[in-house]
Amino acid sequence: MQFETLEIAGRRLIDVSKAFDARGWTPATSGNFSARLADGYVAITASGAHKGRLTVADILAVDTDGRARGAAQPSAETELHLQIYRLLPDVGAVLHTHSPTGVAFTRAFTGLDGWAFEGHELLKALPGQTTHQGAVTVPIVGNDQDMGVIAAAIEPHLVASPRPPAYLIRGHGLYAWGRNVAEAERVVEALEWLFAAELTERAFREGPRT
Query: What is the span of the domain harbouring residue 128?
Result: 6-206
Q: Is residue 157 part of a domain?
A: yes
| Mean pLDDT of the chain, nearest integer | 90
Please give the residue that has the higher pLDDT: either 80 or 128. 80
Nearest to 9 by CA among 34, 32, 40: 34
Q: What is the CATH number of the domain that holds 10?
A: 3.40.225.10
Whether residue 61 contacts residue 75, with contact meaning beta carbons closer than 8 Å, is answered with no
pLDDT in tens, 120-171: 888 988 987 777 777 889 999 999 999 999 999 999 999 998 899 999 999 9
Q: Is residue 1 part of a domain?
A: no
By residue count, the chain amounts to 210
| Residue 210, pLDDT above cutoff 50 | no
Q: Is residue 150 part of a domain?
A: yes
